[in-house]
Structure 1
Amino acid sequence: MKKVIYIYSLIALLVTSACNDALDREIVMSLTADQVQKSYERSRARINGIYTYLPWGLMYSDGAMMASATDEAEHTLETCAIQKFNTGAWNQKDNPDGAWNNNFNGIYAANLFIANSYDIEMDYYRLDPDANKQESYQRCLADIKRWRYEARFLRAYFYFELVKRYGGVPLITEPMDVESNFQIPRNALDTCFKFITAECDSAAKNLPEVYSDNVTNLGRVTKGAALALKSRALLYAASDLFNNPDKWAPGYAHPEYISNRTMDRDSLWEEAAKAAKAVIDLREANYSLSSDYPGLFKTYNNAEIILTRRGGSSNDFEKANFPIGYDLGNSGTTPSQNLVDAYEMRDGSEFDWNTPAHKAAPYSNRDPRLAYTVLLNNTNFNGRPVECWTGGKDGKGKSRATKTGYYLNKYVNSELDLLQGRTSVHSWIIFRLAEIYLNYAEALNEYDPGNADIKIYVDKVRQRSGVNMPALPNGLDQSKMKKRIQHERRIELAFEDHRFWDVRRWMIAPETLGATLRGCEIISRGGLFEYNPIDVEKRTFTTKMYLYPIPESDLNIAGWDQNPLW
């Protein structure tokens, strides 16, 4: 009797795990491959296991967030792997982002599930004439069919995560193992995007808008999630990076891997807008903007959330990001002055250090999302005001203290007593309605500038209850509206893993990711504070960094050409 023991490494792109570690251990100990693949109960566990390959953006290596590889933040641990993005010390042999293996692992797990989902043993129910057993049989058949489309959505999501990093990648839709020794070619970029959107269409037609049992099925993908992925994928496909290869990779021998060659750009913008609007129009799902912006990131059950990866109750994130002066705090991800300066004044005007009133009280009368996102000096936090000033409990002079003058507030549960081991729920939002509104506005502005919906949906984000920022000015032309939409994404979606990719697809990374990261020197003068912007770190961004390099070990086996300039 052969036990099922999956050995997973990415050799020639062909291997990965179908289950989480706990399930693997149980399988190895007691079940045959045939039992695992044909069991209804084990199949349910296996589809659940595929969700574990979704991103968990709260914690990368050493507790860092990807925001610290952008102009949003600096990670206080200088030896953290995320810093390699900022110094340029990453390459095809050493990449801090393990997305290549993780997403191909997820793809293989999805392929294996889909292939075996047609052979799940249901005779126990099917052959019993009892009405209750027949009812259970039909319900289980519906479950299996839905699981298959969940797996197809997840596979499409994993492919999107690869494409936005690497361009065209091999499309593998059947389970394959190392012994097959296939040499799989890369697919063209537009072929990959067409595959992703087609899978989203299929999933949207076969997944529910809402689940009747939303407790048991909380966190499962829905029709809304499939349409949201389609919207995001088409937005990326239409953006500058994938349509102007001559601007950043002239002479590259395989432009089909890094640019759209057969997809009309105007049509892509239009389809991206339509997909976003389809999510907006899902009445039954009852998506709505949350009136509690800070609370949105401390729950997994909110009408604004379209898809989230749930985590268990823990305090690891708080330990990683509490200010250094608090018990067990390690500072972690500290917001930049670059980001703080981007938040508007309460009246919608720009913040300006050259305005004396702004400099004297730089955090007064600002967009409320600033304080919701960034922990500011002298703000009450966990029983006392945070002391970001030089010499303060959380300021310069302390090991691992913030270099920027700020700490993270978004996602952080400030009430936890870490010494007593208190914990709380954490989740990582993958899609939410505010992003969809901004996707819709951006795509609409590109192919139908002047459409009234553009301003309407940006204003919906700005004027949500609890934020209440002024509406955009009337009469903005396409170029000015584009800048306002880009600005709104920066503010609304800060620390949600959008900035790293948005500035690449807009091709403004040299002036954003390559800009000097800034902070604030805060001096306490008898209870009053003096604020002075400072340079914190020189950052590096070169043209080749628009895409990741293919890992060299797999590149050599597959015999592909490397991505441009690496």
Structure 2
Amino acid sequence: MLQLFGACKLDETIYDQATPVNAIKSRSDLEFAMIGVYTHLNATPGFNRDITWALHPYADDLSSIAAFEAGNWGRKALINSGTPFVNSVYVNFFATIRDVHGIIDNINKLDPDADYKAKMIAEAHFIRAFCYFNLVQLYGGVPLVTASVDAGSDFYQPRASVDEVYALIFSDLADAVTNLPTRTTQPAAEFYRATKGAAQGYLAKAYLTYANYLDLHSRSSESAAYYEKARDNAGEVISSGQYQLIADYGALWDVSKEKASYAEVIFGIPHMRDPADLTLSGEGAYYPAHLLPATYPNSTGLPTRAGNGFVRVQPWFFEYYNKGDYQNDYRVEKTFLSVWIDATNKRHVAYPLPFVAADTKEAQAFIVKYVDGAGLSTFGHENDLFLLRLSEVYLIKAEAENELNGPSAVALAAFNAVRARARQANGTPRLTPADVTPVSAGTKEDLRLKIFDERGLEFVAEFNRFFDLIRMRYRNTGKSMYEYQFSTFLPSLTPGLPKVVANAWAGGATEATNIIPYNAKYLLWPIPANQMAVNPKLTQNPGW
């Protein structure tokens, strides 16, 4: 049965009524139904809250000392198959897939003209692929549901293999590439909806991720074909001319210029200040409230006009991007809140930056990408979540080419395009970050780690770090970056938060809630316990 939520920011309009399946009689009804499908993505169990709350602290770059969501959020060691978000995220993606199938059924029943039918089915396929791409990365193989379920259906589907899930993703995205409009031909009323560029960009990302999967599972003889497809599809997005890197990286995060950012943003989750609903189920984003501190004034929609600082930057991570290649990188100051003045005119300075005695010393920096002083409530902010930008497509091309041919001219050109934009700053060019040359690139393994680091800064708090950790290899081994970071690198750091001793920084460089010993089970989330309770054919992931 098709069940739709009633509101979504797609053309800055709030839709109060859902379109039930038996009410779909026309093309207009189909359009409202499609809007309802997108609503799942920015709903509370989706990218409005649960999936981002869950993923950010379980990587290694951000942490949280907040004790909510049954005390489990931000505490990786306490996750289990009964943790609420483990189930809500799973259910929300499958609810989206269910509603996609309802739309496909109605398109076939209404039999509109061939071009419109192909476009709507392609858009449905894009959303289904998007859901399965997230599901397979989080949970591994999951049941493949490819048609509507009714009373005569077999409700108890076993888990498909990872290979089978990716085969469907590739097929769905290929159809979307063929039949979706380009960004510049997309009707204005469909702004924020999927395009050919979004489909091809995600196809490149899915091919790359699957190739990584093959390498990490002793199947490297199969991976080259998928690296080639990733490189080539990324290259076609770049050469299409449909997107461009915004000249000023900082302008991407200016909420007043947000719509203009979609010259670079290929796919994003929209949010809006919704005066009709100031609850958790409204149209707004929570990001400013939880990523900004209470001492940063006029930055959120909270009654105090400042955040609660539930999520903070790991001290080691901010320190890493203040030295070496990234010293004086413009992206650092536009990503991290590290020096600021509070409402009492007191200066705050975060580790490891120099300070004077009168400053308030902060053990952790914060994220400043999401600021909305005009927000209406804790969850009432305008800030979109950019899930795929052109800069990532450049880095996908660089990574795939490097895996095929090492640090070739093609790989370096794609990598350096991202650094060249960073050097432009806000119109006053800088010298850093410098281009990587054939000499400084080193080996294939060296450039792979440089790409990992570049992604680490370029996409902080953009829903990438955890997936990068679990998919990328550490040098030329079967060890993931997740395993390397949590079994080797992070244990080498002094534990605990920084502190000031004798007017200088001392102490540790890690906040403990998500820096725990490596355990392979954390490469996947557990299959939710209540899903296993109702479906006897489901099996649990290793270690859970």
Same fold (TM over 0.5): yes
CA distance in 2, matches of 1:433, 1:43: 30
Equivalence for 2:181: 208
Equivalence for 1:489: 455
Q: Within 5 Å, which residues of 2 pair with 1:71-470? A: 71-80=60-69, 83-84=72-73, 86-94=75-83, 96-97=85-86, 98-120=88-110, 142-177=115-150, 180-212=153-185, 214-239=187-212, 241-245=213-217, 264-283=222-241, 285=242, 287-297=243-253, 298=255, 299-302=258-261, 303-313=263-273, 316-325=286-295, 326=297, 327=304, 328-345=306-323, 348-349=324-325, 366-377=328-339, 379-380=340-341, 384=345, 386-388=347-349, 404-413=363-372, 416=373, 425-464=382-421, 465-466=424-425, 469-470=433-434
Q: CA deviation at 1:21?
A: 6.7
Q: 1:373 is matched by which residue type in structure 2?
A: T
* Secondary structure of the corresponding residue to residue 74 of structure 1: strand
CA distance in 1, matches of 2:378, 2:159: 48
- TM-score, normalised to structure 1, is 0.76
Equivalence for 1:545: 522
Equivalence for 2:277: none
In the alignment, does 2:482 pair up with 1:509? yes
Q: CA deviation at 1:273?
A: 1.0
CA distance in 2, matches of 1:536, 1:498: 20
Q: CA deviation at 1:452?
A: 0.5
* Secondary structure of the corresponding residue to residue 169 of structure 1: coil
The structure 1 residue matched to 2:3, chosen from 9, 17, 27, is: 17
Structure 1 residues 236 and 422: CA distance shift in structure 2, 3 A: closer
- TM-score, normalised to structure 2, is 0.79
* Secondary structure of the corresponding residue to residue 348 of structure 2: coil
Tell me, yes or no, if the aligned pair for 1:38 and 1:119 is still in contact at 8 Å.
no
Q: CA deviation at 1:497?
A: 1.2
Structure 1 residues 221 and 451: CA distance shift in structure 2, 3 A: same
* Secondary structure of the corresponding residue to residue 83 of structure 2: coil
CA distance in 1, matches of 2:285, 2:359: 20
**Structure 2: where are the runs of 5+ without partners?**
9-13, 274-283, 298-303, 473-479
Tell me, yes or no, if the aligned pair for 2:419 and 2:434 is still in contact at 8 Å.
yes
Q: CA deviation at 1:513?
A: 4.8
Tell me, yes or no, if the aligned pair for 2:338 and 2:350 is still in contact at 8 Å.
no
* Secondary structure of the corresponding residue to residue 480 of structure 1: helix
CA distance in 1, matches of 2:207, 2:309: 37
CA distance in 2, matches of 1:82, 1:445: 42
**Structure 1: where are the runs of 5+ without partners?**
1-5, 7-15, 123-137, 247-259, 351-364, 397-401
Tell me, yes or no, if the aligned pair for 1:209 and 1:222 is still in contact at 8 Å.
yes
Structure 1 residues 422 and 96: CA distance shift in structure 2, 3 A: closer
Tell me, yes or no, if the aligned pair for 2:227 and 2:401 is still in contact at 8 Å.
yes
Equivalence for 2:276: none
Tell me, yes or no, if the aligned pair for 1:63 and 1:332 is still in contact at 8 Å.
no
Structure 1 residues 86 and 497: CA distance shift in structure 2, 3 A: same
Q: 1:318 is matched by which residue type in structure 2?
A: P
Equivalence for 1:252: none
Tell me, yes or no, if the aligned pair for 1:53 and 1:102 is still in contact at 8 Å.
yes
Q: CA deviation at 1:82?
A: 8.2
CA distance in 2, matches of 1:473, 1:550: 45
Structure 1 residues 518 and 38: CA distance shift in structure 2, 3 A: farther
* Secondary structure of the corresponding residue to residue 183 of structure 1: coil
Q: 1:387 is matched by which residue type in structure 2?
A: H
Q: 1:118 is matched by which residue type in structure 2?
A: N
Structure 1 residues 82 and 45: CA distance shift in structure 2, 3 A: farther
CA distance in 2, matches of 1:236, 1:32: 36
CA distance in 2, matches of 1:392, 1:76: 27
The structure 2 residue matched to 1:473, chosen from 426, 429, 437, is: 437
* C-alpha distance after superposition, 1:449-482 (max 9, x if no partner): 1421111111111120217521113322211111
Q: CA deviation at 1:440?
A: 0.8
* Secondary structure of the corresponding residue to residue 268 of structure 1: helix
Structure 1 residues 530 and 83: CA distance shift in structure 2, 3 A: farther
The structure 2 residue matched to 1:38, chosen from 19, 25, 46, is: 25
In angstroms, what is the RMSD of aligned CA positions? 3.5
Structure 1 residues 190 and 344: CA distance shift in structure 2, 3 A: same
Structure 1 residues 337 and 212: CA distance shift in structure 2, 3 A: same
Q: 1:445 is matched by which residue type in structure 2?
A: N
How much identity, in percent, do the aligned residues show? 23
Structure 1 residues 82 and 463: CA distance shift in structure 2, 3 A: farther
Q: CA deviation at 1:179?
A: 6.2
Q: 1:308 is matched by which residue type in structure 2?
A: G
Structure 1 residues 512 and 55: CA distance shift in structure 2, 3 A: farther
Equivalence for 1:70: 59
Greater shift in the superposed pair: 176-185 or 143-152 = 176-185
* C-alpha distance after superposition, 1:200-249 (max 9, x if no partner): 1111011111244653121111111111111111111111x454447xxx
Please identify runs of 4+ aligned residues in structure 1 that moved more than 6 A.
Answer: 21-25, 389-394, 417-423
Structure 1 residues 304 and 178: CA distance shift in structure 2, 3 A: same
Equivalence for 1:354: none
Q: CA deviation at 1:384?
A: 4.6
Structure 1 residues 369 and 112: CA distance shift in structure 2, 3 A: same
Tell me, yes or no, if the aligned pair for 2:338 and 2:365 is still in contact at 8 Å.
yes
CA distance in 2, matches of 1:267, 1:165: 24
Tell me, yes or no, if the aligned pair for 1:442 and 1:485 is still in contact at 8 Å.
yes
Tell me, yes or no, if the aligned pair for 1:204 and 1:226 is still in contact at 8 Å.
yes
CA distance in 2, matches of 1:161, 1:62: 10
CA distance in 1, matches of 2:62, 2:71: 11
Greater shift in the superposed pair: 539-548 or 152-161 = 539-548
Structure 1 residues 420 and 549: CA distance shift in structure 2, 3 A: closer
Structure 1 residues 446 and 293: CA distance shift in structure 2, 3 A: same
Structure 1 residues 484 and 243: CA distance shift in structure 2, 3 A: closer
CA distance in 2, matches of 1:421, 1:559: 41
* Secondary structure of the corresponding residue to residue 447 of structure 1: helix
Structure 1 residues 548 and 417: CA distance shift in structure 2, 3 A: closer
* Secondary structure of the corresponding residue to residue 301 of structure 1: helix
Q: How many residues align?
A: 485
Tell me, yes or no, if the aligned pair for 1:209 and 1:282 is still in contact at 8 Å.
no
CA distance in 1, matches of 2:531, 2:4: 21
* Secondary structure of the corresponding residue to residue 334 of structure 1: strand
